[in-house]
Structure 1
Amino acid sequence: MVDAWVSRGAGTGEAVGAVLAEVEDRAQWRSRLLRAGRDLFAAYGYAHTTVEQLCAEAKVPVRAFFQQFTSPEALLIALYDEVATRGLRASEAVLLSDGVDECAAEERFRRLFDAYVQAVTEDPRGARVAFVEVLGVSRAVDDHLAMWRTMWSEFLACEAERAVERGEVGDGDQRVAVMVMTHSVDELLAQHGRRPRQITPDRLTEELTQFSLTMLGPP
């Protein structure tokens, strides 16, 4: 009887161990798939990467992919959101930093763009995915990018209004200028994603700063 209980207990322990191991694996599946997507999409292109290749790279079963993401597009959007969120947080940190309120418009824009650019280009693979591989994928992805652009337009509009109120840039409605600025940020980052060695982060920051001031106009 005792031997039977010991045997049953051992079997239960093995079963529990197997369950715990799978739970631990599941917790790592998403991060593995994100890393695999970043690597493969950047190296071979989103359009040329299959779910099976992603799972092989991540060392997870195919069923794991669809437990974490509804489609390859969902993985692509998640990777974009990682990069975009990192850029947003970096820009917000600048606005909260000491002394930034006293800075002139040119210095404020330079600090904002520098923080954003450094954050989103920190990982060349992530930058390639977020600003090149997302282009022309589908209407759903385009709509998601448009949502982020709208948010950035509002963010930059606040900075433009501040500069207008302080008499540092041209007076009047700056909405068109801000829309052009927002699209220019994406276009320049796409160029960086394609040729990171030719278009450096420092050059991006300078180009974006000067272009923004030109678009907003002199006081």
Structure 2
Amino acid sequence: MVDTVVELWDGVRAVRDPARCRAQLMAAGRTLFAVYGYAHTSVEHLCAEAQVEVRDFRREFESREALLTDLYDQVAMAGMQASQAELAAEGMETCPTEERVHRLFAAYVRAVTPDPHAARVAFVEVLGVSPAMDEHLTMWRQVWTDFLGHEAERARGRGHAVDGDLEVVVKVLTRSVDELLAHHGRHPRQMPPDLLTSELTRLSMAMIGPADGSVGATGAATGAS
């Protein structure tokens, strides 16, 4: 009886506490969208899983898609913050290009893959949802294009012979990253984090191209390649 009362009180408290209600709905979305698919999960299913009322969902989110967008942003922001933090890490300015690329992708992958449900939602369930979601993904893709473009420019400055137009190369790389992440989201055992990092690094270096030896004295002195 006591356990039942506590459970009921927790449910009431969740409704009274917007932050907790939102957290429970986010957790429910992460689980149900990943397990059953976004298209097959209703607001009622989400509320039942989160143990809140439908009116509480409406208070926190305009729609299921708004919840899905927030779940995606949570993963995307974690990946971006991890990559930016790694840029400031010790040795990043002087290490060889391949090591730098590997470290950046390793930091990113560690941030976006620890929860298989979150990864599935962020890299699979968001695809083809609506024009608005496509536009949101395009916005984030441009953020990553700018980030990777800066890294490609740096590699070119260090003597790497980037093959073709740099902007096109970076856009192709960004799309390729999306495809690999989607594959991981669908088949995490086939594409575990370490393999994902290695493939992203290999692909990036193939597109950047080898150093052509024109780095100069500064590059040689720092050990960059």
TM-score, with length taken from structure 1: 0.88
Asked if the contact 2:72/2:122 (under 8 Å) is kept, the reply is yes
Aligned mates of 1:126, 1:213 — CA distance in 2? 28
Residue of structure 2 aligned with 1:100, choices 68, 92, 95: 92
Provide the residue aligned with 2:101 in structure 1: 109
Aligned mates of 2:149, 2:58 — CA distance in 1? 39
Indicate whether 1:153 and 2:145 are aligned: yes
Indicate whether 1:129 and 2:145 are aligned: no
Provide the residue aligned with 1:13 in structure 2: none
Provide the residue aligned with 1:139 in structure 2: 131
String of CA shifts for 1:177-202, please: whole Å, max 9, x gaps.
10011011110011011110111111
* Identity of matched residues, %: 60
**Offset of 1:111 from its aligned partner?**
0.4
Asked if the contact 1:169/1:213 (under 8 Å) is kept, the reply is no
String of CA shifts for 1:118-176, please: whole Å, max 9, x gaps.
11011100000000000110000000000000000000000010111111343764111
Provide the residue aligned with 1:47 in structure 2: 39
Aligned mates of 1:22, 1:58 — CA distance in 2? 9
Unaligned runs of 5+ in 1: 1-19
Asked if the contact 2:38/2:125 (under 8 Å) is kept, the reply is yes
Q: Specify the structure having the higher radius of gyration (Cα).
A: 1
Aligned mates of 2:165, 2:41 — CA distance in 1? 45
Residue of structure 2 aligned with 1:60, choices 24, 28, 52: 52
Mapping of 1:1-219 within 5 angstroms?
24-170=16-162, 173-218=165-210, 219=212
**Offset of 1:23 from its aligned partner?**
7.3
How many residues of Structure 1 are paired with residues of Structure 2 in the alignment?
200
Aligned residue for 1:137, secondary structure, equals coil
Unaligned runs of 5+ in 2: 1-11, 213-225
* Greater share of residues in helix: 1
Aligned mates of 1:155, 1:47 — CA distance in 2? 32
TM-score, with length taken from structure 2: 0.85
Whichever residue aligns with residue 37 of structure 1, its letter is G
Aligned mates of 1:89, 1:40 — CA distance in 2? 26
- Residues 21 and 36 (structure 1), Cα distance of their counterparts in 2 relative to 1, 3 Å cut: closer
Asked if the contact 1:86/1:119 (under 8 Å) is kept, the reply is yes
Aligned mates of 2:101, 2:53 — CA distance in 1? 46
Aligned mates of 1:38, 1:101 — CA distance in 2? 37
Aligned mates of 1:131, 1:105 — CA distance in 2? 27
Structure 1 moving runs of 4+ over 3 Å = 20-24
**Offset of 1:21 from its aligned partner?**
5.1
Aligned mates of 1:133, 1:23 — CA distance in 2? 27
Deviates more, 1:38-47 or 1:209-218: 209-218
Whichever residue aligns with residue 98 of structure 1, its letter is E
Aligned mates of 1:170, 1:22 — CA distance in 2? 54
